[in-house]
Structure 1
Amino acid sequence: MERYMFFDSVDGEDERYYTADEFADYFRRFIRNGIFNGSGDNLQVGAAGQDMRTFIKQGYAWLEGYLYKIDIEPLELYHPMAHAEYSRIDRVVIRLDKTLENRYVKAFVLTGIPSENPQIPSLTRDENIYELSLAQVEVLAGKSFIESYQITDERLNSAVCGIVTHLFEQVDTTELFNEWQLYLDARKSHGDMEFEAWLAYLTDKKQDASMEHASFLALLNSKFSAFQQTWSNWVSDKLTTPSGEFYMQWKNWFDRIQQDWDIWFDHEAQRVWQAWVSDKLTAPKGEFYTEWKNWFEDIQDVTNLVPRSQFKAHRDKTIKEGVHGLRLVGGSLEAEVSEGNWHRIGQSVINTWGGM
């Protein structure tokens, strides 16, 4: 079918109608698919590292003659939660959909399949749908947020995206992308090896430190036990050797301490006893003094030459009669009832009275 474009219509005579796809096809002839380079972060995919969202920065893309743009603020996309055991690879794409029910150019997340060896989702490119891949996103098993290191930029890969540079030929950046990707992979592999070596070094050091610590404790305990045994043997030997210097010094010290203690105890015990007795005897109303006085008075009738009862009766009588004194005459006790006037009292005694 012959088709030519674009010409003005003549109302009522020669109407010229052109579809959007015909208009896009016109530009497909000399503008190739990809993103416009811009400042270098054109439609770059990133992540905040807080949840399962990624974002696409502002920029422009060209898909089969159709323009796509984000021109105000980054566009956020949501990724399904990670599998508990297996990782997967998602893709962030720009999709042209010319089907009648859609007719749009939008950004989407192509969700990968969790697996021990996850595969990258394929792009759809047919007569109605055309997709450009901006980035791969590795969704790690059991992880609830996406970080920037999990994102692989694919904008420079001409096989899945590429850059629009001029009207007639698109620069093939696939080789550049592949070289850059190989460099990143090599650096990542080298970093992983260094990290694993570092972990192995730490593990070895931890084991070595634990063994050294255990060995040190064992050696310390051994030395301490040996010291205790040596000390015990030395002391035992010194104390059981009567002529040894240590034994003699210890015995002299012990004898001196014992002597000092005996002297102190003898004097102190005697002092305490005498003080106690003195205190008891000088307390007229004290229990000890009362009991001692009663005892002393009871034995006076036995020990005195003049019975206490007789002397007490005489004392009461002399007080009553005003007697001035006592005397012994011929073995008899006489009392002075007035000056120069003596009167014999009681029976004859053998000797003088011996106490009160």
Structure 2
Amino acid sequence: MEYSGFFNGNYKYGQEEFSRYFENIYENGVSFKDKDKLASYEKDQMTLKVTNDGLRLKVAPGFAIVKGYYLYNKEEKVLDIAKPTEGKRIDRVVVRLNSTVGSSSMSVELKSGTNVKEPDLTRSDNIYELSLAKVIISADGSIIVEDERAYDGLCGGIRPKNVSAYENMIAKIDEAFNKWLSEEQNKGREIYIQSDKPKESVSGSIWIDISAV
């Protein structure tokens, strides 16, 4: 079955059409404050950072995309934590998408685990979670927050899909050009890459006029 859009006129579009469109363009993840930091995954440039203040977790403002749906956290969100009665508990702060028709939502939530293991991420047809951080809470009230935003399998950063395929294509083009260039140079000819026409050159040499590029 074919799908297409978006057109003016007697066409109706809903969450399925828009999420299908964006899911095919962007990978799941959180946004970056500085787009130039995307490739390096510098955590200080990723949004929706989780910190703690006593028994409260603070989730910084930010933006996330999950399966084509988006979350925009305009202001800092606070999540209260309950201490375990003994030992410790390992929780997670997640971005949770619920795409169930009629009860659709996307929000930042605290997900409880056990004293030995953090909770698994739910990834079903209707519920899909990204982990922002793992939070270890001890009975004495001490808290350790472990950032998980930079891990692609858990969260990752928003980025266009097929980037690696594009980079591979460019690499192959460069490889082919360099091979051709080397072969031409080995023939005793010169290849001039400049704006001015070469004054002296061996017959059969090649001039690439960069001013025309």
TM-score, length of structure 1 as denominator length: 0.41
| Structure 1: segments with no counterpart, 5+ residues | 10-14, 171-356
Equivalent of 1:66, from 69, 78, 81?
A: 69
Q: For residue 135 of structure 2, what is the aligned residue in structure 1?
A: 137
| Structure 2 residue 28 is the aligned partner of structure 1 residue 25 | no
Mapped to 2, the partners of 1:80 and 1:100 lie a distance apart of 32
Contact 1:79/1:111 (CA < 8 Å) preserved in 2?
no
The structure that has the greater radius of gyration is 1
Deviation of 1:66 after TM superposition, in Å, equals 1.2
Mapped to 1, the partners of 2:161 and 2:95 lie a distance apart of 21
CA-based RMSD: 1.8
Mapped to 2, the partners of 1:112 and 1:101 lie a distance apart of 28
Which residue type is aligned with residue 61 of structure 1?
Answer: A
SS at match of 2:18: helix
Deviation of 1:3 after TM superposition, in Å, equals 2.7
Q: For residue 189 of structure 2, what is the aligned residue in structure 1?
A: none
Q: What pairs with 1:142-221 in structure 2 (closer than 5 Å)?
A: 142-146=139-143, 150-166=144-160, 168-169=162-163
Structure of greater relative contact order (alpha carbons < 8 Å, 6+ residues apart): 2
Mapped to 2, the partners of 1:123 and 1:57 lie a distance apart of 21
Mapped to 2, the partners of 1:97 and 1:3 lie a distance apart of 23
Please state which structure has a larger fraction of its residues in strand. 2
Contact 2:31/2:46 (CA < 8 Å) preserved in 1?
no
Q: For residue 82 of structure 1, what is the aligned residue in structure 2?
A: 84
Mapped to 2, the partners of 1:42 and 1:4 lie a distance apart of 33
Q: For residue 60 of structure 2, what is the aligned residue in structure 1?
A: 57
Deviation string, structure 1 residues 13-62 (Cα, Å, up to 9, x no partner): xx3222212111111111110011215151110011x2x21110111111
Q: For residue 52 of structure 2, what is the aligned residue in structure 1?
A: 47
Alignment CA distance shift 1:80-1:102 (3 Å): farther
Mapped to 1, the partners of 2:80 and 2:162 lie a distance apart of 37
Contact 1:45/1:57 (CA < 8 Å) preserved in 2?
yes
Contact 2:29/2:156 (CA < 8 Å) preserved in 1?
yes
| Structure 2 residue 119 is the aligned partner of structure 1 residue 121 | yes
Q: How many residues are aligned here?
A: 154
SS at match of 1:60: strand
Mapped to 2, the partners of 1:166 and 1:4 lie a distance apart of 20
